[in-house]
């Protein structure tokens, strides 16, 4: 408990909640989109951060649309694109 960011308990509650939400989102991303990708299906959070979350790309705007331009030589570009396609193809909650 001494690694928490504040001495105030209410601030630490918010920090723990945010950390738990981030962990849950990371687990659901791997479960729903990366289940068949070797090396990413059971990856640790540091590996996910290095391979997918810190992606070398540029956000470009043209004709009122935004395009994400991913570096072609990036080794995990196909895994990122596949994960993005699977996420956008999930059915809406009813």
Flag whether the pTM goes above 0.95: no
* pLDDT digits 0-9 by tens, 25-79: 999 999 999 999 998 989 998 999 999 999 899 999 999 999 999 998 999 999 9
CB 32, CB 38: distance < 8 Å: no
CA angle in degrees (0–180, nearest 5) for 19-21-27: 105
pLDDT of residue 6: 84
Domain extents in the chain: 9-88
Q: Are 80 and 70 in contact (CB under 8 A)?
A: yes
């Amino acid at each position: 408990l001494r690694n928490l960011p504040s001495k105030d308990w209410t601030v630490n509650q918010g920090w723990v909640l945010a950390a738990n939400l981030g962990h849950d989102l990371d687990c659901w991303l791997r479960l729903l989109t990366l289940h068949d990708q070797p090396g990413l299906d059971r990856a640790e959070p540091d590996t996910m951060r290095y391979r997918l979350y810190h992606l070398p790309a540029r956000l470009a705007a043209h004709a009122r649309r935004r395009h994400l331009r991913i570096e072609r030589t990036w080794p995990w570009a196909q895994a990122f694109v596949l994960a993005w396609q699977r996420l956008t193809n999930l059915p809406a909650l009813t």
